[in-house]
Amino acid sequence: MPPLPDFLRPLVLSGPSGVGKSTLLTRLFAEFPDKFGFSVSHTTRAPRPGETHGKQYYFVPRSKFEELIKAGAFIEYAEFSGNYYGTSFETVRQVATDGRRCILDIEAQGVRQIKQTDLDPVYCFISPPSMQALRQRLRGRGTETDASVQKRLAASIKEIALAKEPNVHDLVIVNDDVERAYQIFKQVALGEKVPGDVLPRLEDEEEAIGIQS
Ligand SMILES: Nc1ncnc2c1ncn2[C@@H]1O[C@H](COP(=O)(O)OP(=O)(O)OP(=O)(O)O)[C@@H](O)[C@H]1O
């Protein structure tokens, strides 16, 4: 069977840090090892234990990243929590050349930048069921200091604000139960048109846990 039309477009995945984007992607790649290619971003942040150069990210020093910016190598880039993150044209091109659907994990500022290009991806927003759940996940992952959790929660407000703008994302998936979220995500990744979830009202909860943007 030929691939569905949307399968031929890149898939942009966005959502706050800690919402479970990597978790969903890891499952997808395990189930379909040949269908998808992850657009490996460049970053200036330090690798976490178990991360390898060229797999989760291309880890580069700040000076190198700034050189690449000047050379116009990035489709989008942003500074987030004190580190640069960016997607190079070359990486996305390479995935398509390999005959795979390219999946990009992009934060809000990058989504805005991609909208200025002719990439024409499907935009999928992964939402937490609540801000409390997001905080618990960030803490539970055990990779962040308290200050870093706080920074990421503050940054999540930008992600959520963008998701609330009309026509920015093609669909929302609430990662409440990971099994349920994965089943929807899988359909989207395979190019099926699904209605997706309704974005939860998260703003009251931001206030409730005292996040300052
Ligand atoms: N539905 C879920 N319910 C409970 N915990 C979850 C769920 N999905 C993911 N998690 C857990 O939440 C934590 C954060 O998930 P993950 O690292 O996938 O987030 P992320 O969105 O990729 O974050 P980042 O953008 O910082 O890389 C992990 O410890 C993961 O196991």
Question: Which residue's CA is the nearest one to ligand 1's atom 29?
Answer: 141
Known catalytic residue at 48: yes
Please tell me the predicted confidence (pLDDT) of residue 185.
98
Please tell me the predicted confidence (pLDDT) of residue 213.
45
Q: What pLDDT band is residue 210 in, cutting at 50, 70 and 90?
A: low
Decide if 49 is inside a domain.
no
Whether residue 175 has its Cβ less than 6 Å from ligand 1: yes
Helices (DSSP H) in 32-87: which residue ranges?
Answer: 62-70
167-184 burial, b if ≥16 CB within 10 A, otherwise e? ebbbbbbbbbeeeebbeb
Longest alpha-carbon distance in the chain? 51
Decide if 191 is inside a domain.
yes
Which of 101, 135, 137, 152 is the catalytic position? 152
What is the overall mean pLDDT for the chain?
Answer: 92
Please tell me the predicted confidence (pLDDT) of residue 1.
77
Owning domain of residue 158: 5-38+101-208
Instruction: Determine the Cα–Cα distance for residues 18 and 39; give it in Å rounded to an integer.
Output: 19
| C-alpha 105 – ligand 1 centre gap (Å) | 13
What are the strands, taking DSSP E only, across 95-208?
101-105, 122-127, 171-174
pLDDT, one tens digit per residue, over 141-160 is 988 899 989 989 988 988 99
pTM above 0.90, yes or no: no
Decide if 130 is inside a domain.
yes
Instruction: Determine the Cα–Cα distance for residues 185 and 124; give it in Å rounded to an integer.
Output: 9
Decide if 44 is inside a domain.
no
Give every CB contact of residue 161 below 8 A, 6+ residues apart in sequence.
108
ipTM (interface predicted TM): 0.94
Decide if 197 is inside a domain.
yes
Number of domains present in the structure of the chain: 1
Instruction: Determine the Cα–Cα distance for residues 68 and 165; give it in Å rounded to an integer.
Output: 31
Decide if 169 is inside a domain.
yes
Decide if 11 is inside a domain.
yes
Helices (DSSP H) in the chain: which residue ranges?
Answer: 21-31, 62-70, 89-97, 108-114, 131-141, 146-164, 178-189, 203-208
Please tell me the predicted confidence (pLDDT) of residue 118.
84
Instruction: Determine the Cα–Cα distance for residues 25 and 40; give it in Å rounded to an integer.
Output: 12
Domain of 136, CATH number, reads 3.40.50.300
| C-alpha 70 – ligand 1 centre gap (Å) | 33
Whether residue 18 has its Cβ less than 6 Å from ligand 1: yes
Decide if 199 is inside a domain.
yes
Which of 9, 48, 93, 112 is the catalytic position? 48
DSSP string, 110-124: HHHHHTTSS--PEEE
Known catalytic residue at 62: no
Q: Is the pLDDT of residue 205 over 70?
A: no
